[in-house]
Structure 1
């Protein structure tokens, strides 16, 4: 009889430990910081030991799947470009490392060239915004990093910025 009582007490203890384990796991889950995106951290906002309120940012992350290069194409070449067209991106910091890309967006309406274009003659033309996105995520690409996009219009793509004509 004593053995049965011990077994029952041990089963109760095991059940209590399982409940305690579930409670501890619940607390760990609530205190674990999880990113809503699969990206990389570009800025740490909070430090270890700081008290944060609900919903406050801990870090800034970028989803590398959503990065793209916005470029402008003149009226003549716009008609030759299609969604999915092959392209490459050359970052100013890495002019000899082409990043394979594809055209993902072509604006339907022309606009005047934005102010960022430095030569006045280039700003007079009307252009179309074209977005090109890397085929694969690339750690070299960062938000706001300047670069040059080249779209293949039925031809080959350059392997270096040196292959492009000088302006």
Structure 2
């Protein structure tokens, strides 16, 4: 009787073991199971002062603190940059005063030179008109003199024969002398006007040359403007640097790591905080290549995290990396020498969580995943 009872117990154990083994094998056929599971995030930023360096005068957050996008996390002493800003401001102001003075001087000189040029041109036109008038008068006198000389010669011949009164001849000779005297005066006046014309032409030419010389003043003003523009850009850059002395959170999240403390001197690019986002968490699975069969994009997955064994998270396969994880190792294996030990490679698989309390998860946590195979 005792032997029969013992046999029944053995048979029950064999049946239970067989059922459990069958279910375990069936589960392994239907699911890819691995414990190479890590909680990751799309947003993990090591934030630093990008272009500024100096002594940290204030740090506002500790590890684990929640932060909002744009919130100030730390500050560097901006004194050096403020001194540079004040120096640039004073230099810009000085150059601006100089530019304004030169512009007023240029305007005054241009006005004077333009007036001088107009006066010279007007004087030149007056001289030219007077020359034209004198030239015309000389022609008229020459014509009248020529006619009068003929008449005088003719009257002299007639006077010798007592055919005309002597008094008439004397009047004509007197008129001829007057015309010759007037011509000499007009000729002298004309010569003087021609000299004046040359002088006026030189004055016009000089006035034009003086106006052209203002180009040097214009170049100087243009050069100062360029310097002011360059300094303004430098000033704008310094203003941006002063803004950058305040380190701000790039997105909503939590402080994962605090690298520095108040009073430390940091260089640009040196990490001060690490900020992680709670909203972009996903599961990174390093799945053995032998378990990839039937795993597709969209395959359903169930995740258990070691820290919360009673919590079951659901998700879907979002991405299957086309390259094995070993290819990204710092020292990848070199099989070209002929030395080779076959090792099952692991393929990174990204799983997006669709159900579960993700606020409990922390980046770096590990666990186990079961991925439903598609037939």
Selected match of 1:132 from 328, 340, 351? 351
Matches within 5 A, 1:14-53: 29-53=243-267
Are 1:143 and 2:360 counterparts?
A: no
Alignment TM-score, normalising by the size of structure 1:
0.52
Structure 2 counterpart SS, 1:68? strand
- The superposition leaves residues 42-68 of structure 1 with CA deviations (integer Å, 9 ceiling, x where unpaired) of 111112343322222111123442543
- The superposition leaves residues 5-39 of structure 1 with CA deviations (integer Å, 9 ceiling, x where unpaired) of xxxxxxxxxxxxxxxxxxxx978743321233443
Matches within 5 A, 1:44-83: 44-64=258-278, 65=280, 67-73=282-288, 75=290, 78-83=292-297
Selected match of 1:88 from 264, 287, 302? 302
Distance in 2 between the 1:149 and 1:63 partners?
23
Q: Does the 8 A contact of 2:293 with 2:373 survive in 1?
A: no
Structure 1 counterpart SS, 2:248? coil
Judged with a 3 Å threshold, the aligned counterparts in structure 2 of structure 1 residues 124 and 26 are, in CA distance, closer, same or farther, namely closer
Q: Does the 8 A contact of 2:302 with 2:314 survive in 1?
A: yes
Write 1 or 2 for the structure with the bigger share of strand.
1
Look at both structures and tell me which one has the larger radius of gyration over its CA atoms.
2
Distance in 1 between the 2:317 and 2:266 partners?
41
Write 1 or 2 for the structure with the bigger share of helix.
2
Distance in 1 between the 2:265 and 2:343 partners?
53
CA-based RMSD: 3.7
Distance in 1 between the 2:274 and 2:323 partners?
34
Distance in 1 between the 2:297 and 2:273 partners?
34
Q: Does the 8 A contact of 1:132 with 1:149 survive in 2?
A: no
Judged with a 3 Å threshold, the aligned counterparts in structure 2 of structure 1 residues 34 and 83 are, in CA distance, closer, same or farther, namely same
Selected match of 2:317 from 103, 106, 113? 103
Distance in 1 between the 2:244 and 2:283 partners?
34
Distance in 2 between the 1:40 and 1:78 partners?
35
Are 1:152 and 2:372 counterparts?
A: yes
Structure 1 unaligned regions, length at least 5? 1-24, 113-122, 155-167
| Structure with bigger RCO (C-alpha 8 Å, 6+ apart) | 2
1:165 matched residue in structure 2: none
Structure 2 counterpart SS, 1:139? helix
